[in-house]
Structure 1
Amino acid sequence: MFSNNDINFEALKRKAYNGRWATLEEGIIPLTAADPDFRTAPEIEQGIIEYIKDGYLSYGPFSGLPEFKKSVADHFNKEKHGTFSPENVLAVNSAAQGMYLIATYVLNPGDEAIILDPVDFLFKRSVETAGGKVRLCPVDIETGDIDFEKLVSLITPKTKLISICNPHNPLGKIYSKETLKKISEIASAHDTWVMSDEIWSDIIYDQKEFYTYSSVSEEAKKKSFTVYGFSKSFGIAGLRIGSVLCNDPDILEDFIEKSNFNSTIEGVSTLSQIAGSVALEKAKPWYKEFLAHLQHNRDLAFNIINCSEVLSATLPEATFVLFPKIKNGMSSEEFTKHVLQQGKVAIVPGSERWFGKGAEGHVRICFSTSQEILEEGLHRITSSF
């Protein structure tokens, strides 16, 4: 189901933007944006068709369709130790929008937010767009471990938010229940909010256990938001569908009010919500096969990279990206330019722009494609020097 024969390259060249097939010259392999090369599950396609058969595309409830909210809550409760009811879920236009709305809700101009370093650029962008000031907390680039001493030292009276990425993009680290509990204790002691971006929480390998942040303690429940999305596990990034979860219904109600989700100013396409709901209710068999394929690709890519002279990688516990270290002394930008020009492969540099100061000297390689494309891409990278 996930071989080269299952990829419609003509469709990708028309539709796959964001640094992928539709944006690159013919002959270049994109191992860039974290977006699968495979068509979405047939159950999702069928669910969308069924929904529009009667010809009605009316307004939905402002905070989200009941079936969408229930499917997200059930998914978290069954798979991630959550304790959410449908009333704890807000449908939003992607996890990225959820991150921005949370930053806007929590921060006033000049307030400070602590984010991990390195981490996906959207964390920094969300805080700065909301008028906040970013403070960087380093994580160990090999293990993903958080420097808690540094985290505590960064907290000032202006600190209003601690943001975590779990599983971590681009390091592929899953934070344990104990680690999350420690974060909740620190946040509670200093009365700060916590945002946990859990968009990668379905792409977890070796049957490791995942705990949604708010499940680890009563403190974690009280003053936190969780962000979730469907673009990674179900390949529907173009539908722009995600959710914000909050265990306190009064806080979420205030959040909905202040984020303009109580009127037609904001709100999410009902079609996108149906796709999300069907994904969680009916497309799990497809997803499990996809996950097995990804784990195979992860192991393959890890072995190829670590047999090379130019890169060395650690094995990610989650996500479908690797973040190997450059061994030949090139900067991240130099390396990716060389690979693009000489190897005809596009990858993402570990530059400050994309992942923060702590990412330099690394590159991010996405492996959510066929084994054939992955092998060819990695061969081109490692033989281009």
Structure 2
Amino acid sequence: MFTNNDINFEALKRKAYNGRWATLEEGIIPLTAADPDFRTAPEIEQGIIEYIKDGYLSYGPFSGLPEFKKSVAEHFNKEKHGDFSPENVLAVNSAAQGMYLIASYVLNPGDEAIILDPVDFLFKKSVETVGGKVVLCPVDTTTGAIDFEKLTSSITSKTKLISICNPHNPLGKVYSKETLKKISEIASAHDLWVMSDEIWSDIIYDNKDFYTYSSVSEEARKKSFTVYGFSKSFGIAGLRIGAVLCNDQEILEDFTEKSNFNSTIEGVSTLSQIAGSVALERAKPWYKEFLNHLQNNRDLAFNLLSTSEILQPSLPEATFVLFPKIKNGMSSDQFAQHVLQHGKVAVVPGSERWFGKGAEGHIRICFSTSKEILEEGINRIIASF
């Protein structure tokens, strides 16, 4: 199901945007945007077809279809130590939109939000878009460890939010229950909100346990939002479907109202919600095979890079990206340009634009493709020097 023969390259060249097959010249291998090269689960395709068979595509409930909210809550409770009811779930147009809406809700112009450095650019973008000020908290690029001393000393009277990425993109770190508890103690002592982006929480290797942030303490439960999405684990990025979860029902209702979901200004495609609920209820066998394939690819990519003189990788505990350190002194942008030109491989540079200041000197390699494409891509990178 996840071999090179299962990839429809013609379809990818027509449909896979965001720095991937549809945007690059013929002959270039994209190991860029975190999007799978494989078609989505047949159960999801079938679920969408079944839903539209009667010809009705009516308005859905403002906060999301009951089956969507129920499947997301149950998924978190079974797989991530969560304690959510369906009412604790709001359907949103992607995890990225969820992050922006939370920033809008929590921050006034001039308020400060602490984010990890490096981390995906959407954290910074969502804070700055609503007029907030970003304060960076360093993360060790090898271990993913958070500098708690710096985190605590960064808090001022203007701080309103701590945003975490768990599992961490691009470092692939899964934060332990103890680490999350520590964050909740710091946040509680200063009466801060916490946003936990958990879009990668289905792509975890070696059967490592995952705790959703709000499950780790009473403090975490009281004042936090969790963001979830389907694009990584189920390959449906184009459907723009995600969820915001919050254990405090009154807060979530207020959030829903202030985010304009209690009107038709905002709202989520019912087809996308059907795809999401079918993914969680019927496509788990597909997903487990996909995860197994990804773990094999992770090990392959790590081993190939470890023996090279060019890049020094760390083994990710989660996600389908590697974030190796550049060993030859090139900047991230120079390296990415070099391998594009001389190796015909596209990678994401660890530049400030994409991941913050702490990412410089690294590149990000996505490995959610076939073994053959991955091997060819990494060998081309190594051979281009």
Which TM-score band (shorter chain)?
Answer: over 0.9
Aligned-pair CA distance for 1:381: 0.2
1:101 counterpart residue number: 101
Aligned-pair CA distance for 1:199: 0.1
Between the aligned partners of 2:23 and 2:179, the Cα distance in structure 1 is: 40
1:168 counterpart residue number: 168
Between the aligned partners of 1:110 and 1:187, the Cα distance in structure 2 is: 19
How many positions carry a matched residue from both structures?
Answer: 385
Aligned AA (2:279): A
2:141 counterpart residue number: 141
Superposition pairs for residues 1-385 of structure 1, below 5 Å?
1-385=1-385
Aligned AA (1:316): P
Between the aligned partners of 2:330 and 2:160, the Cα distance in structure 1 is: 38
Counterpart secondary structure, 2:162: strand
Aligned AA (1:130): V
Aligned AA (1:165): C
Between the aligned partners of 1:59 and 1:190, the Cα distance in structure 2 is: 42
Per-residue Cα deviation, 1:346-382 (whole angstroms, up to 9, x for no partner)? 0000000000000000000000000000000000000
Between the aligned partners of 1:189 and 1:307, the Cα distance in structure 2 is: 46
Give the fraction of aligned pairs with identical amino acids, expressed as a percent.
88
> Structure 2: any 5+ residue segments left out of the alignment?
none
Between the aligned partners of 1:328 and 1:160, the Cα distance in structure 2 is: 41
Counterpart secondary structure, 1:279: helix
Between the aligned partners of 2:332 and 2:147, the Cα distance in structure 1 is: 24
Aligned-pair CA distance for 1:119: 0.1
Between the aligned partners of 1:261 and 1:378, the Cα distance in structure 2 is: 45
What TM-score results when the alignment is normalised by the length of structure 2? 1.00
Between the aligned partners of 2:341 and 2:366, the Cα distance in structure 1 is: 19
Between the aligned partners of 1:381 and 1:315, the Cα distance in structure 2 is: 19
Between the aligned partners of 2:275 and 2:134, the Cα distance in structure 1 is: 35
Moved over 2 A (4+): none
Aligned AA (2:339): V
Between the aligned partners of 1:324 and 1:139, the Cα distance in structure 2 is: 15
Counterpart secondary structure, 1:149: helix
Per-residue Cα deviation, 1:204-248 (whole angstroms, up to 9, x for no partner)? 000000000000000000000000000000000000000000000
Counterpart secondary structure, 2:46: helix
Aligned-pair CA distance for 1:273: 0.0
Between the aligned partners of 2:183 and 2:326, the Cα distance in structure 1 is: 31
Aligned-pair CA distance for 1:163: 0.1
Between the aligned partners of 1:32 and 1:140, the Cα distance in structure 2 is: 23
Aligned AA (2:285): P
Counterpart secondary structure, 1:342: helix
Counterpart secondary structure, 1:186: helix
Aligned-pair CA distance for 1:194: 0.1
Between the aligned partners of 1:258 and 1:165, the Cα distance in structure 2 is: 24
Aligned AA (1:215): S
Aligned-pair CA distance for 1:178: 0.2
Per-residue Cα deviation, 1:42-68 (whole angstroms, up to 9, x for no partner)? 000000000000000000000000000
What TM-score results when the alignment is normalised by the length of structure 1? 1.00
Between the aligned partners of 2:195 and 2:328, the Cα distance in structure 1 is: 37
Aligned AA (2:16): A
Per-residue Cα deviation, 1:321-360 (whole angstroms, up to 9, x for no partner)? 0000000000000000000000000000000000000000
Between the aligned partners of 1:5 and 1:172, the Cα distance in structure 2 is: 28
Counterpart secondary structure, 2:131: coil
Q: CA RMSD in A?
A: 0.2
Between the aligned partners of 1:203 and 1:310, the Cα distance in structure 2 is: 27
